[in-house]
Structure 1
Amino acid sequence: MKIQSQKDFFAGLMFTVVGGSFAAGASQYTLGSGAKMGPGYFPLILGILLAVLGCAIAVKSMITPTPDGDKIGKFAWKPLFFIIAANLVFGASIGGLPVIGLKPLGLIVGIYLLTYIASHAGEEHKFKEVAVLATILALLSYVAFIVLLKLQFPVWPAYFTA
């Protein structure tokens, strides 16, 4: 069988591998039953569903013809770099880096850094739009995680607290 769409085939393959990995990892936890679910039940079901979806996409990519073979393009290094960097900086800003003496910068500063760094992944960067987005995200995150869920992690930089 010939691959008609490279993009769909490799996306399906990726979904299958990731879903299978999650299902295998979840099977190490207690599964329980549908009425009394254990910690591994939900990830196992999601992993299996993702793997089945991936198989269906991969099979469809070999059946449904596409005019140009739907080739995979160049690898997008710039967005990959900025998105990963933004997440790493956010994690370091929330937890700090005690090894090098960096205290936590807090949720609010972390979200501003995350938004600003991630905004460079796109083709255009408008500082005003990024600032508005970061403000909305910071406000909603504060309300959701600190006020409603009452999670205990720093909101403001540790440098400002005694």
Structure 2
Amino acid sequence: MNIKSQKDFFSGLMFMGVGVAFAWGASGYTLGDGARMGPGYFPLALGVLLAFLGSIITFKALVVETVDGDKIGKLAWKPLFFIILANLVFGACIGGLPLIGLKPLGLIIGIYLLTFIASNAGEEFALKPVLILATLLALLSYLAFIVLLKLQFPVWPAYFTA
């Protein structure tokens, strides 16, 4: 069977892989039932749904004819690098890096760093819009996670509060 759309085919495989990984990871937790959901219920349902959608996309890529075969272009290394780096830096800001003695920098600084690093993934960088976006994200994240949900993780650097 010929692949009629490379983009859809490999996207579908990726969705199936991530879905199976989620479902497999959820199997280690208590599932519960519909009335009393355990911690593994939602990741399992999400994983199954993602794998199902991936199988539909993959099937479509094998059946539906496309004009040029939807060839996959070259890999965009710069955006991939900056987006992954931004997420790693954000994780280090929230949890710190005990191996090297870095205390948590907190949610606010983490969001600013995440926004500034990720904004370098694009073709152009404009300081003012990035600063506005970072401020809005920090404010809304603080309100959502700290004030409304009352989650317990550092908001400000541990150097200031300890």
Whole-Å separation in 2 of the counterparts to 1:78 and 1:130? 18
* Greater CA drift, 124-133 or 39-48: 39-48
Q: Which residue of 1 aligns with 2:64?
A: 64
Q: Which residue of 2 aligns with 1:113?
A: 113
SS in 2 for 1:67: coil
Q: Which residue of 2 aligns with 1:131?
A: 131
* Greater CA drift, 42-51 or 151-160: 151-160
Q: Which residue of 2 aligns with 1:50?
A: 50
Question: How far off its partner does 1:160 sit?
Answer: 2.1
Whole-Å separation in 1 of the counterparts to 2:74 and 2:134? 30
Whole-Å separation in 2 of the counterparts to 1:46 and 1:151? 23
Q: Which runs of 5+ in 1 are unaligned?
A: none
Whole-Å separation in 2 of the counterparts to 1:92 and 1:25? 23
Q: Which residue of 1 aligns with 2:26?
A: 26
RMSD (CA atoms): 1.2
- What is the letter of the counterpart of residue 44 of structure 2? L
Whole-Å separation in 2 of the counterparts to 1:69 and 1:134? 40
Whole-Å separation in 1 of the counterparts to 2:25 and 2:157? 36
Whole-Å separation in 2 of the counterparts to 1:131 and 1:156? 18
Q: 1:161 to 1:28 in 2, by over 3 A?
A: closer
Question: How far off its partner does 1:95 sit?
Answer: 1.7
Q: Which residue of 2 aligns with 1:75?
A: 75
Question: How far off its partner does 1:104 sit?
Answer: 1.7
Q: Which residue of 1 aligns with 2:16?
A: 16
Q: Which residue of 2 aligns with 1:140?
A: 140
Whole-Å separation in 2 of the counterparts to 1:47 and 1:93? 28
Q: 1:154 to 1:38 in 2, by over 3 A?
A: closer
Whole-Å separation in 2 of the counterparts to 1:15 and 1:81? 21
* Greater CA drift, 12-21 or 149-158: 149-158
Instruction: State the percentage of identical aligned residues.
Output: 76
Matches within 5 A, 1:91-106: 91-106=91-106
Q: Which residue of 1 aligns with 2:154?
A: 154
- What is the letter of the counterpart of residue 160 of structure 1? F
